[in-house]
Amino acid sequence: MTRSLAWSKGRSCHWLALPGWFLICFLAASLGAFFGPGAWYESLAKPFWNPPGWIFGPVWGLLYTLMAVAAWLIWREGGWQKQRGPIGIFLWQLALNALWSPLFFGLQMPGIACAEILLLWGMIVATIRVFYPVNPRAAMLLVPYLAWVSFASILNGTLWYLNA
């Protein structure tokens, strides 16, 4: 009975960490609010397949939600102490994610942002690779994120090319 109670208490503590992962992920997302598209972006030549502006908010909202759940699934497999490597790589890719909007929209440097998003893409792949052995579901939750960043990388490169 004691062992069961301890396990139950430990599992409930794991649930308490989930809002923390949402906070971490959505804090990174909030940088985008400070560096939105604005007039400069509207003035750029865009490919015919450029998505409408309204799609980015819902897509990124879903992706940050999936990232938070994925990180939490890894964290609950031993916390920071046991999962330092995978969580560290996740946090590095999240920092790169947060950096893209200031580079692209804030500094209006699509070339630098393109190089940065390619680095981000590589870090997402690395995150999926280190998450998979710990929790395959967590790794799979990041696949839509990788797909969207793949598309965003092509879009970023195209915008840079069209407006150079």
- For the stretch 42-98, pLDDT in tens is 999 999 999 999 999 999 999 999 999 999 999 999 888 899 999 999 999 999 999
pLDDT attached to residue 133: 98
Q: CA torsion sign, 135 to 137 to 140 to 141?
A: negative
Using the predicted structure, report yes or no on whether residue 23 has a pLDDT greater than 60.
yes
Q: Domain extents for the chain?
A: 2-162
CATH fourth-level superfamily of 2-162? TspO/MBR protein (1.20.1260.100)
Which pair of structure tokens corresponds to residue 80?
A: 């920071």
The model's confidence at residue 5, banded by pLDDT at 50, 70 and 90, is very low
Tell me what pLDDT residue 9 has.
44
Q: Which residues contact 102 (CB under 8 A, 6 or more apart)?
A: 31, 34, 35
Question: Contact, 156 vs 99, CB < 8 A?
Answer: no
Q: Which amino acid is at 96?
A: L
CA gap 46, 11 in Å, rounded: 49
Tokens representing 54? 């309204």
What is the predicted pLDDT for the residue at 129?
A: 98
Mean pLDDT, the chain, rounded, equals: 91
Is residue 2's pLDDT more than 50? no
